[in-house]
């Protein structure tokens, strides 16, 4: 991927030209550009340049299609079961983005003839996908094609595509087939120009609908027919002259039975409203919604344009994946950009993505956590089925919250291999509790904490109390579990699982104490409904206090699980450069008997429970496990970046930061075709803000411990805390914060001086002798 400066003579981005209503942002720092065309990379590019708004996600397949195109528009929260698939799969709409163009007697296709120029542009600032293509067909005719596509952030049920065509050296007959593939449209509504398709989802009771309106316009803004609106989803044919432009605009409104009965009628009513408002208003509202989100979501690095672009790419896809208006959906592992993992939801959301939303857009964070509350009954049922109490969340979740992890897969040698993650990777319950607590503390959402949040924390604590068993040593143990390191299955006392279970039990007690003091009536109702009383909560403190922790006092290293220290050491450096994951290179059996780990496990624990571990244990554990980690998961490099930065190894942190950024932007794991790695994108934000910026929440505000890597001259980001909005600007010589919002907060710096920052004020602390001096109020 490369950024290219757009020479547009100061043209206003929204307003556009005769060939399209919006133009790319002038600043190349907001653009991702793919120049040229490589058929083998199509699926990867379609993932990276996808558009989304939390309700729908649209892959960046070319409108004219290629022999390798994989178009899809996924609908959040709608799942089906296609034939031959044992688990739910995220549903996709009929292909509404295809436009097959025929010039004379030849199809206009990039694989036929010669592309003179071909560029795809993702404008992250405006949330718009652009296509620029000049093509010479086998007959020598040159055609200029320009395209626009977006998923509206202002109206999350609305999609838009525009395609313009200009003959450069010929005149003649042109035909554009814009029929929606596999979806005949029935005319409905106030005019015959709106067509609706409504259909059931295979293997489900769900129904999805899309309403379509098409508009045709000649050059100089002259519409064809009344208002330019033509019968939807049809074939457009006519004569064109040299340098004359025809533009076909399409608006699509999406609905499903998740919103209630008659989704087709609902989609058509929404579309009628958008048609009356006009396409320019639709585009402008979308751009304004993105501008508002970037006020808090943008992270800017002075001195490293590539880092800024990577962080904007991460924020773009995270914002595109969440819907603060829908609390019954969460973010799949590949967001709404690709088919990998079938649209299933993992612990990725709460541990890797949620912090971005907690600090930049609390309503999105709340909605994501409410999905877990709405699926709490399924988690309770799963715990009961396995002989436990409380709530055990599914390792892979879909619409209902039931466990949807495939029971087995076929390996490259054709053998069927059992997947045990759905049985044993239970730390997901602690991850959900961790996210609920973090959100409640940062957002100061007492209504959430007293209701859904408390219920999540108490029921997950109850699960861990029933899961842990007391051993002959007098300690409590979690036996036969899978931690984040999935190379080692059914281990006893996985340090991450035990540590998070201990944390979960203690937070359960803390929320009970909070409710007793703040809302005893609500506590009484909750205890009665959950059947929680007597000696049960009292046992949680005992279990947490006697939980096996695996700490080796001599070295300060936490053993990843019992017996890990006795496994075969492997020198990972001897296997560099690596063309495959370590479990493939060594074989599954030898990997299980070795100290090679798939991803951050103890290091993940250090990251999440930083304040609960002594500095010696943090660094000793990181230094021990870092050379033993094969990074076989995209979740691993960003965690190593955060922890390396926090212990002061900025150069190593920068290396892991770059590795994380390149997971999608350089496809360094070779699987971006299946969709962007949403957890890694959330982890990249954490690496910059919580690692290099050292941001953490405290009881009275926010604190930072800056550790900028070489070459970074300034790091700027925004964090929200309980109604206060704080802009941090961190440089090698000083730190500045500017506070706005409804209230002030206390800002701490590197464990030293803090300041009671008031709204409407700015504060500065200068670097002094390796640390920072006192805060001083500044104006302007």
Which residues are known to be catalytic?
A: 486
Alpha-carbon span 722 to 445, nearest angstrom = 8
The total number of residues shown for the chain amounts to 780
Q: Which two tokens stand for residue 335?
A: 């967001």
Q: Which two tokens stand for residue 668?
A: 């360094």
Alpha-carbon span 453 to 450, nearest angstrom = 6
Partner residues linked to 716 by β-bridges: 300, 729
Partner residues linked to 747 by β-bridges: 702, 755
Alpha-carbon span 569 to 42, nearest angstrom = 40
Other beta carbons within 10 angstroms of residue 511's beta carbon come to 25
Beta strands 724-730 and 714-721, pairing class: antiparallel
Half-sphere exposure of 444 (CA within 13 A, CB side): 13
Partner residues linked to 172 by β-bridges: 240
Torsion angle defined by CA atoms of residues 298, 304, 306 and 311, in that order, rounded to the nearest 10 degrees: -20
User: Which 8-state DSSP code applies to residue 179?
Assistant: P
Alpha-carbon span 432 to 616, nearest angstrom = 28
Alpha-carbon span 380 to 360, nearest angstrom = 31
Alpha-carbon span 81 to 720, nearest angstrom = 41
Alpha-carbon span 79 to 397, nearest angstrom = 11
| Cα end-to-end distance, the chain, whole Å | 38
Partner residues linked to 703 by β-bridges: 696, 748
313-316-322 Cα angle (round to 5): 140
Beta strands 300-302 and 714-721, pairing class: antiparallel
Alpha-carbon span 583 to 487, nearest angstrom = 7
Alpha-carbon span 203 to 510, nearest angstrom = 44
Beta strands 761-768 and 724-730, pairing class: unpaired
Other beta carbons within 10 angstroms of residue 86's beta carbon come to 9
Alpha-carbon span 453 to 445, nearest angstrom = 9
Torsion angle defined by CA atoms of residues 590, 595, 599 and 601, in that order, rounded to the nearest 10 degrees: 130
DSSP class per residue in 194-219? EEEEEEEPTTSS-EEEEEEEEEEEEG
Alpha helix stretches (DSSP H) within 279-398: 279-297, 305-321, 348, 354-360, 362-374, 376-385
User: Which 8-state DSSP code applies to residue 414?
Assistant: S
Alpha-carbon span 140 to 724, nearest angstrom = 62
Cβ-based neighbours of 762, under 8 Å, separated by 6 or more: 736, 737, 738, 739, 777, 778, 779, 780
Beta strands 745-749 and 701-704, pairing class: parallel
Nearest to 639 by CA among 433, 440, 355, 371: 355
Secondary structure E strands in 429-582:
469-470, 476-477
Cβ-based neighbours of 393, under 8 Å, separated by 6 or more: 372, 375, 379, 382, 401, 428, 429, 432, 460
The owner of tokens 């208006």 is 325
């Amino acid at each position: 991927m490369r950024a290219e400066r757009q020479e547009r003579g100061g043209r206003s981005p929204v307003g556009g030209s005769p060939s399209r209503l919006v133009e790319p942002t002038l600043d190349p720092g907001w653009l991702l550009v793919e120049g040229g065309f490589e058929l083998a990379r199509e699926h990867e590019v379609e993932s990276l340049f996808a558009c989304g708004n939390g309700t729908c996600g649209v892959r960046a397949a070319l409108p004219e299609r290629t022999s390798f195109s994989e178009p899809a528009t996924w609908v959040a929260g709608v799942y089906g079961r296609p034939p031959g698939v044992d688990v739910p799969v995220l549903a996709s709409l009929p292909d509404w983005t295809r436009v097959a163009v025929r010039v004379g007697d030849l199809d206009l296709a990039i694989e036929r003839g010669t592309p003179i120029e071909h560029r795809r542009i993702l404008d992250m600032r405006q949330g718009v996908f652009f296509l620029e293509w000049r093509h010479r067909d086998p007959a020598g005719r040159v055609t200029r094609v320009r395209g626009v596509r977006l998923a509206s952030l202002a109206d999350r049920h609305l999609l838009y595509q525009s395609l313009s065509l200009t003959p450069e050296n010929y005149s003649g007959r042109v035909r554009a087939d814009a029929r929606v593939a596999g979806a005949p449209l029935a005319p409905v509504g106030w005019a015959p120009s709106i067509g609706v398709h409504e259909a059931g989802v295979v293997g489900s009771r769900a129904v999805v609908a899309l309403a379509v309106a098409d508009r045709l316009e000649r050059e100089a803004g002259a519409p064809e027919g009344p208002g330019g609106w033509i019968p939807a989803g049809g074939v457009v044919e006519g004569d064109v002259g040299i340098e004359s432009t025809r533009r076909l605009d399409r608006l699509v409104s999406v609905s499903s039975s998740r919103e209630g009965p008659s989704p087709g009628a609902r989609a058509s009513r929404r579309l009628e409203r958008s048609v009356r408002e006009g396409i320019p208003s639709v585009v402008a509202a979308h751009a304004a919604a993105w501008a508002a989100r970037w006020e808090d979501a943008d992270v800017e690095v002075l001195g490293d344009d590539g880092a800024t672009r990577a962080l904007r790419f991460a924020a773009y896809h995270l914002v595109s994946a969440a819907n603060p208006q829908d609390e019954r959906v969460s973010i799949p592992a590949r967001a709404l950009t690709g088919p990998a993992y079938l649209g299933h939801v993992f612990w990725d959301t709460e541990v890797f993505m949620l912090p971005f939303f907690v600090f930049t857009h609390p309503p999105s964070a709340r909605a994501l956590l409410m999905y877990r509350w709405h699926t709490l009954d399924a988690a309770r049922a799963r715990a009961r089925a396995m002989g436990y109490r409380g709530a055990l969340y599914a390792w892979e979740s879909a619409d209902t919250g039931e466990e949807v992890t495939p029971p087995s897969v076929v390996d490259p040698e054709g053998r069927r291999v059992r997947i045990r993650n759905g049985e044993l990777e239970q730390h997901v319950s602690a991850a959900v509790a961790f996210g609920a607590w973090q959100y409640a503390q940062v957002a100061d959402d007492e209504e959430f904490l007293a209701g859904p949040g408390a219920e999540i924390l108490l029921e997950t604590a109850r699960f861990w109390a029933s899961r842990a068993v007391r051993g002959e040593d007098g300690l409590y143990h979690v036996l036969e579990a899978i931690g984040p390191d999935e190379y080692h299955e059914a281990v006893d006392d996985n340090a991450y699982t035990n540590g998070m279970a201990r944390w979960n039990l203690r937070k359960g007690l803390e929320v009970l104490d909070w409710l007793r003091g703040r809302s005893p009536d609500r506590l009484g109702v909750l205890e009665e409904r959950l059947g929680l009383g007597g000696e049960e909560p009292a046992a949680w403190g005992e279990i947490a206090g006697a939980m096996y922790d695996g700490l080796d006092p001599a070295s300060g290293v936490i053993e990843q699980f019992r017996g890990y220290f006795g496994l075969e050491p492997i020198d990972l450096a001897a296997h560099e450069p690596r063309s495959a994951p370590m479990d493939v290179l060594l074989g599954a059996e030898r990997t299980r008997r070795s100290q090679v780990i798939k991803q951050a496990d103890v290091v993940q624990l250090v990251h999440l429970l930083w304040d609960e571990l002594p500095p010696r244990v943090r660094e000793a554990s990181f230094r021990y496990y870092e050379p033993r980690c094969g990074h076989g998961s995209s979740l691993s490099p960003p965690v190593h970046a955060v922890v390396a930065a926090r212990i002061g190894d900025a150069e190593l942190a920068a290396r892991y930061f770059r590795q994380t950024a390149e997971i999608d932007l350089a496809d360094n794991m070779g699987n971006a075709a299946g969709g962007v790695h949403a957890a890694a994108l959330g982890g990249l934000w954490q690496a910059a803000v919580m690692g290099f910026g050292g941001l953490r929440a405290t009881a009275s505000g926010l604190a930072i411990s800056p550790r900028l890597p070489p070459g970074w001259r300034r790091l700027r980001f925004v964090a929200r805390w309980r109604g206060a909005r704080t802009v941090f600007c961190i440089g090698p010589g000083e730190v500045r914060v500017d506070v706005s919002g409804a209230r002030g907060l206390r800002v701490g710096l590197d464990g030293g001086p803090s300041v009671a920052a008031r709204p409407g004020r700015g504060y500065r602390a200068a670097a002094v002798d390796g640390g920072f001096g006192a805060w001083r109020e500044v104006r302007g």
